[in-house]
Amino acid sequence: MNKLKVLFACLLLFALASCSTGTETKDKKLEAKIDNLLSQMTLQEKIGQMNQISSFGNIEDMSGLIKKGEIGSILNETDLQKINALQRVAMEESRLGIPIIFARDVIHGFKTIFPIPLGQAASFNPEIVEAGARVAAIESSSVGIRWTFAPMIDIARDPRWGRIAEGCGEDTYLTSVMGAAMVKGFQGDSLNNPTSIAACPKHFVGYGAAEGGRDYNSTSIPERLMRNVYLPPFEAAARAGAATYMTSFNDNDGVPSTGNAFILKQVLRNEWGFDGLVVTDWASATEMIAHGFAADSKEAALKSVNAGVDMEMVSYSFVRHLPELIKEGKVKQSTIDNAVRNILRIKFRLGLFDNPYLEEDKPSVLYAESHLATAKRAAVESAILLKNDNETLPLTSKVKTVAIVGPLADAPYEQMGTWVFDGEKAHTQTPLMAIREMCGDNVQVIYEPGLAYSRDKSASGIAKAAAAAARADVVLAFVGEESILSGEAHSLADLNLVGAQSELIAAVAKTGKPVVTVVMAGRPLTIGKEAELSAAVLYNFHPGTMGGPAIADLLFGKEVPSGKTPVTFPKMTGQIPLYYAHNNSGRPATRTETLIDNIPVEAAQTSLGNTSFYLDAGFDPLYPFGYGLSYSTFTYGNIKLSSATLKKNDVLTVSFDLQNSGKYPATEVAQLYVQDKIGSVTRPVKELKRFTRVTLEPGEKKTVTFELPVSELAFYNIDMMKVVESGDFGLWVAGDSQSGEELVFKVID
């Protein structure tokens, strides 16, 4: 009997090990190499590996630090010759020849710029997102960059926060799928492939919940919400093999992430089995002094490294204070050794010891035709058609004169969006360029921007724009945000169009000509008024280098819009935070409430009822999550569940017929939502659990199937255990988070 027990225990252990995140250290040979190198390193050399600097250009000075073994990584150096020169110093002039990892923020492209990640998420297409990350890796690694600080997978439910632009929106499942796709794209099939760059899911964790949507502000995310909403995308990235992680600036419930052992050790290492390296955000170690969490840079170093940080970005407290902290016994030698093991492990996995240098005379891959084509495809699939009255779009041959107005019609720099360090505006193809090329001599294009830039408040050019509109068959108004208005540290308290853009739309609409409003922005904007005045609205989260040709193809029908909102669009800023996967509350809105303009004078105190809504904005958003129109229409029917009663280890199969009932070949993003009706804690009214893009010819009908393991309905419950609770569930299959008929099923023990 004993032998059987031992056998069972071994099998169980093996099973547990194999269902981990897959990033545990399995390579004994690699570990032996790491230990051998570690055993030769002095304390100063070990601490040097934990130090990352930002290139300050001066090769001699940086070489001096490298020779001393004081640098483990350099960010923001992108000159191939300089990178090779610095690497040669590390390999041939430092005592142990440990290579440097060169890093850069390659967030949505290096030279060929893709739509900002929020735009890429709108494609609901992980394949195109992975392809974009692959292009970014090929281009950036060709100059010697082998580590990017991406994907940014902070769940963001507050569009006042400028960094909503940089992530994949409000939804945990969508962000998990897109983040994993980016990790795979950046890292390729193997990290030691010279075109692979180490991914760095960031900002770990909860940064997108900054109070008031004001960047760097405190967050108050309780553990259950952290585990059910904010952590899953980072776990998905770990399962995808992410090589590194970056700590976030925010203090959550009073603890800055850079000093938070619970997330860095308990969750990331112990629960997920992560064995790569953790880097701080820019000076986030010493910023714990400003947080009031560290008295000085010595305590900042102490708290960071003891919490589980391996490498410090630019604030140099590790180099300055760790020797003393070790001498004082406040930091263990084993802590340093483990941090350096994690760093060396990534350097070995990247193949830097064997292939530290780049060929300097190989043909450039920057802006390759195939890269530009992929970027255009991404921009096409990221565009969201929010309105299209009377089939204004696509523009047909009846249109002989087009007036193009607005500050974003020909704004090559703005179109690339935030977090672009290396993309060049000279390579951007704008909508004006693309539409002029497409129209040629067949359609007259009149261009009157009306405003010089998005914040332009001078209305002096609006009359000329209106005059151009009066002469045209249709007006294309390109409005939105300059790229500087979103991104890091760029929070907004008001999401209305800036400058005199709203006046511009009103002026051209007043001519009576149909207005197609094309938005380029880094976030959802409160464009209800302008949408009212427009016959059609096409929304693009800064579409990147190829945004112009993509938008032109969409407007003139060579392509059909398929994007869906990855984030809820509020009617008013005051509705924020506003997201679809909300809890019901005890007094949910009925959506029939009397709104402010219809409240009788001297209305009795309780006459309006007591539900959760805004008197001046109601409850519903301007556009819900998952929403987007097509030039075709789609009908969902014959929705069937494999069973109405399931056990916890079952797989639910959902099948439905999807028909393209319009006249254009088109793609629909079909979505599956589930609600756990009753829980040991309150649960969201809906949660996205699957989505898929389905391309259909006019009239074509296809049966589509989703497979959903019941285990994916698990959540952290009242006992902080991740479980599936038996009971009743609601299920919807639809083209957005507000549509579809509810089906029900039961989970039993």
Cα 563–566–570 angle (5° rounding)? 110
CB of 419 to ligand GLC, least distance (A): 8
Q: Of the two residues 104 and 111, which places its CB atom closer to ligand GLC in the complex?
A: 104
Q: Of the two residues 282 and 357, which places its CB atom closer to ligand GLC in the complex?
A: 282
Instruction: Give DSSP secondary structure letters for 360-423.
Output: SSSPP-TT-HHHHHHHHHHHHHH-EEEEEGGG--S--TT--EEEEESTTTT-TTGGG-SS-SS-
Q: Of the two residues 158 and 281, which places its CB atom closer to ligand GLC in the complex?
A: 281
In angstroms, the CA 675 to CA 222 distance is: 21
3-state secondary structure of 354: coil
> If we measure between CA atoms, which residue out of 624, 620, 570 comes closest to residue 595?
620
CB of 418 to ligand GLC, least distance (A): 11
Query: Do the beta carbons of residue 670 and residue 694 sit within 8 Å?
Result: yes
Torsion of CA 536, 567, 478, 531, to 10 degrees: 40
Cα 105–111–114 angle (5° rounding)? 80
CB of 54 to ligand GLC, least distance (A): 8
3-state DSSP of 455-500:
CCCCCCCHHHHHHHHHCCCEEEEEEECCHHHCCCCCCCCCCCCCCC
Q: If phi over 0 gives left and psi between -120 and 50 gives alpha, with beta otherwise, what is residue 353?
A: alpha
Q: Of the two residues 257 and 562, which places its CB atom closer to ligand GLC in the complex?
A: 257
> If we measure between CA atoms, which residue out of 165, 312, 153, 309 comes closest to residue 238?
153
CB of 103 to ligand GLC, least distance (A): 8
Residue 626 CB coordination number (10 Å): 28
Q: Give the start-end residues of each E strand in 596-700.
A: 634-641, 645-647, 651-660, 666-676, 687-696
CB of 129 to ligand GLC, least distance (A): 18
In angstroms, the CA 599 to CA 54 distance is: 59
Query: Do the beta carbons of residue 358 and residue 80 sit within 8 Å?
Result: yes
- Cis peptide preceding 431, ω within 30 of 0: no
Residue number with the shortest CB distance to ligand GLC? 149
Q: Of the two residues 488 and 700, which places its CB atom closer to ligand GLC in the complex?
A: 488
Q: Of the two residues 282 and 413, which places its CB atom closer to ligand GLC in the complex?
A: 282
Cα 657–641–673 angle (5° rounding)? 80
In angstroms, the CA 579 to CA 567 distance is: 7
CB of 149 to ligand GLC, least distance (A): 3
Sign of CA dihedral 169, 175, 178, 184: positive
Give every CB contact of residue 608 below 8 A, 6+ residues apart in sequence.
593, 594, 599, 615
CB of 200 to ligand GLC, least distance (A): 8
CB of 698 to ligand GLC, least distance (A): 45
Q: Of the two residues 310 and 736, which places its CB atom closer to ligand GLC in the complex?
A: 310
Any idea which residues carry the catalytic annotation?
Answer: 281
Q: Of the two residues 105 and 422, which places its CB atom closer to ligand GLC in the complex?
A: 105
Contacting residues toward ligand GLC, per CB under 6 A: 105, 149, 202, 281-282, 488
